[in-house]
Amino acid sequence: MARNSLATMQGMVEVEQQLQCEKAIAMYRQLPNVLIFTFVASSALALYFQEAASQSSLLLWWGSMQLVSLLRLGGLWWWHQSLRQQHQNYTQMIRLFMLGALVSGGVWASFSVAYFNDAPAAQRLVIALVMATIAAGSINVLMLVPWVGRLFMALLIGPLVVLFATTGAMDDLVVAGLSLALFIGLSGFARVSRDSALHLFAAARDKDRSIAIALSQRDELARAKDDLELRLAEQIETLQFEIALKERYAQELARVASSDPLTGLLNRSSFERELRQQIEMARANNSCLGVLAIEVLRFDVIELQGAVVSEQILLVLADRLKGAMPRGSLIARWGGSEFAVTMSTQGRKWVHEAALLRGVLQQPIETGAGVMRIDVMIGISAFPGEARDAEQLLYQTSIARHSLRQQGTGGVKLFDLALDVGIQQRQRLRRSLHSALEADELSLVFQPIEPCGTSAPRKMEALLRWDEPELGAISPLLFIPVAEESGLIVPLGRWVLMSACKAAAQWSGDAVVSVNVSIHQILGGDLLADVNAALKSSGLAPERLEIEITESVFSHDIDLVCSVLEQIRALGVSLAIDDFGTGYSSLAYLRRLPVNIIKIDRSFIADLDHDARKLLLAIVGMARGLGFRIVVEGVETEQQRNLLVAMGVDYLQGYLISRPISARNVAGWLSAPNSLNA
């Protein structure tokens, strides 16, 4: 409420100031005309009366009038100065103007008073005319301050009314009356003209205000527009930045999504996508396209050197592939140590080209762990050929590579349908193997391992047999890997352990049963528990059980393997390394395992020329020196037997001594004397 009335008062003060300003402007705008008119009228009057009045008094009057005009001219100058300096006090200026007007009115009045009585009738009328004219002319401006206007008119007309009225002449009385009427009329006219002036001022003010409001609104709008444009520009800039950022992210995401994080090569999904396009192009152009699936041989062994070395090798291989493959080839890391590339070659020299690539990849690699050599398996499939699309092409490369993996050697293999048949067979085996255990299709045979010239306990190696109803007898060399791949090896191995221990428990004497165990029974199962269960259930003394494990243990978590084997060894069970010499381990490396027997692979005695003998002798000597007992496998000839006996190996196993025999014949075998001790 108080705030509203304060605002109203402020508004009123502003309006009053505005009014004063308008009045002052109207007055001072008229002042030059007033001064000119005053000069002309006063000069004309003075000249006209120069014969009727004394010169000096006229000059004094005229001089006074000019002095007043001069002072008012000074006021006008001051007005303009203050306008220019913008610190006007309008009320003061109006007062000054009015003072000048009243003084000038006084000087005019003094003329009537001074010269009226001596003037003839005509001159008196001239005086009246001049005064009336001045009064009428000034009314417009002076009436803006009513009392000043009235006083000014009273000064000019009042003395004349009195003077004309007091001459006694009838004519003068009429003039006095007319002058009075003029005074009254002018007063009325002045009021009306003042009202209309104020009205005009108000209208002008309203107009000015409207214009000012319109202008300020226009300015405000212009400012708002500028502001809006600025914000819009900022928003657009931000938006553009964000769009650019998003595009960059999208590109980066696409790049990350389509590439292998380690090598920067294509990843599997982007390779497959682009391969489909290349196949379409090859189809359209009637050209050939080869897909190579490359895998580092025994990379699991390399990984034992640590992640840094493995990654170094993968990066070098990626670089070599990039360098070796022609432009337009797709190069991808498939995962792990597997890569895939496409190539188009004239004359379908796929195998030749792949062999060259293998040569490049086989070059020694400098790593943090020293110079390393790797080998690769390269499976190839070609389009057009047996495959119709990318999926089939990739399937065929993996079949071709798989066949190399089965052989366990590096090399190059072009897909052919026979390979696929092999794969199909394996899949069939896998399906059948599931039911083999329940269907009682599995059995054990035993192959004697005879001590040479000692009274050490005789041994029997339990070997698994599978009599598949449709396919007949299937070699463990075929179905054991299938069982390992499918995880079936764990229940299968458990069954072998149990059956072998039960069989051995029936044997008379201290004959040992030797059971082959897969590394997958340690990693994927609980071998210790299986051994314990087999011993407990059969009642076989632990010393009569021997576990054979191949050197592949070294390519897995060696600490875990050691700990399991140590616990088995602690039971009193013997541990043998089977097929010694075919894997990657050295004798010194073997000492990490709690193994006490090594079984030298039959490949060492297959062709016993001079060098082979020396090598065998060295191995035997070293193994003996390290405290291992030595079994030699695959003894087929007398010559081999004699040589091995002469070398002093502990046990011999092979067709010469005996082929694997059925379980029911073991008792008979053991009851006969050991031929090696004969």
Nearer to ligand C2E, 378 or 605 (CB): 605
Binding residues for ligand C2E, rule: CB under 6 A, are 447, 463-464, 475-477, 480, 493, 496, 516-518, 548, 578-579, 602, 633-636, 653-655, 660
Work out what residue 436 binds among Mg ion, ligand C2E, none; the CB cut-off runs from 5 to 8 Å by kind: none
Helices (H) and strands (E) in the chain, counts: 21, 17
Instruction: Of 182, 177, 153, give the one whose Cα is nearest residue 165.
Output: 177
Work out what residue 660 binds among ligand C2E, Mg ion, none; the CB cut-off runs from 5 to 8 Å by kind: ligand C2E
Work out what residue 361 binds among Mg ion, ligand C2E, none; the CB cut-off runs from 5 to 8 Å by kind: none
Place of tokens 């690539």: 357
**Minimum distance from residue 386 beta carbon to ligand C2E (Å):** 32
**Minimum distance from residue 633 beta carbon to Mg ion (Å):** 5
Work out what residue 484 binds among Mg ion, ligand C2E, none; the CB cut-off runs from 5 to 8 Å by kind: none
Work out what residue 546 binds among Mg ion, ligand C2E, none; the CB cut-off runs from 5 to 8 Å by kind: none
**Minimum distance from residue 620 beta carbon to ligand C2E (Å):** 18
Residue 2, Cβ neighbours under 10 Å: how many? 6
For 307, phi then psi, to 5°, come to -65, -35
- Kindly report each contact of residues 425-430 with a partner whose C-beta sits within 8 Å and lies 24 or more positions away, as own/partner: 426/478, 426/482, 429/468, 429/474, 429/478, 429/479, 429/482, 430/482, 430/485, 430/486, 430/488
Distance, CA of 192 to chain centre = 82
**Minimum distance from residue 368 beta carbon to Mg ion (Å):** 36
Q: Is residue 65 classed exposed, middle or buried when 0-12, 13-18 and 19+ CB atoms within 10 A define those classes?
A: buried
Q: Measured between alpha carbons, how far is 570 from 553 in angstroms, rounded to an integer?
A: 19
Hey, what are 668's tokens? 């008979």
Hey, what are 71's tokens? 């002072």
Work out what residue 463 binds among Mg ion, ligand C2E, none; the CB cut-off runs from 5 to 8 Å by kind: ligand C2E
Hey, what are 384's tokens? 């057009």
**C-alpha distances in Å from residue 213, one per residue of 4, 16, 207, 209, 217:** 21, 19, 9, 6, 6
Binding residues for Mg ion, rule: CB under 5 A, are 516, 548, 578-579, 633
Work out what residue 450 binds among Mg ion, ligand C2E, none; the CB cut-off runs from 5 to 8 Å by kind: none
Work out what residue 187 binds among Mg ion, ligand C2E, none; the CB cut-off runs from 5 to 8 Å by kind: none
Nearer to ligand C2E, 91 or 658 (CB): 658
**Minimum distance from residue 447 beta carbon to ligand C2E (Å):** 6
Nearer to ligand C2E, 505 or 661 (CB): 661
Assign 3-class secondary structure to 170-210.
Answer: HHHHHHHHHHHHHHHHHHHHHHHHHHHHHHHHHHHHHHHHH
**Minimum distance from residue 463 beta carbon to Mg ion (Å):** 7
Nearer to ligand C2E, 414 or 489 (CB): 489
| Cross-sheet strand order for the sheet of 289-296 | 331-335, 338-343, 289-296, 376-383, 411-414
**Minimum distance from residue 549 beta carbon to ligand C2E (Å):** 9
Work out what residue 519 binds among ligand C2E, Mg ion, none; the CB cut-off runs from 5 to 8 Å by kind: none
The helix (run of H) or strand (run of E) holding residue 331 is strand 331-335
**Minimum distance from residue 630 beta carbon to Mg ion (Å):** 13
**Minimum distance from residue 514 beta carbon to Mg ion (Å):** 7
**C-alpha distances in Å from residue 569, one per residue of 341, 547, 574, 644:** 48, 9, 6, 28
Nearer to ligand C2E, 450 or 578 (CB): 578
Work out what residue 464 binds among Mg ion, ligand C2E, none; the CB cut-off runs from 5 to 8 Å by kind: ligand C2E
Nearer to ligand C2E, 267 or 516 (CB): 516
Nearer to Mg ion, 100 or 654 (CB): 654
Nearer to ligand C2E, 296 or 576 (CB): 576
Between the two ends of the chain, the Cα-to-Cα distance in Å is: 134
Work out what residue 496 binds among Mg ion, ligand C2E, none; the CB cut-off runs from 5 to 8 Å by kind: ligand C2E
Nearer to ligand C2E, 295 or 546 (CB): 546
Assign 3-class secondary structure to 140-178.
Answer: HHHCCCHHHHHHHHHHHHHHHHHHHHCCCCHHHHHHHHH
Nearer to ligand C2E, 75 or 654 (CB): 654
Q: Measured between alpha carbons, how far is 106 from 98 in angstroms, rounded to an integer?
A: 12
Give me Rg for the CA atoms of the chain: 64
**Minimum distance from residue 595 beta carbon to Mg ion (Å):** 14
545 strand-pairing partners: 513
Nearer to Mg ion, 486 or 516 (CB): 516
**Minimum distance from residue 325 beta carbon to ligand C2E (Å):** 39
**C-alpha distances in Å from residue 612, one per residue of 21, 221, 619, 631, 646:** 129, 103, 11, 17, 15
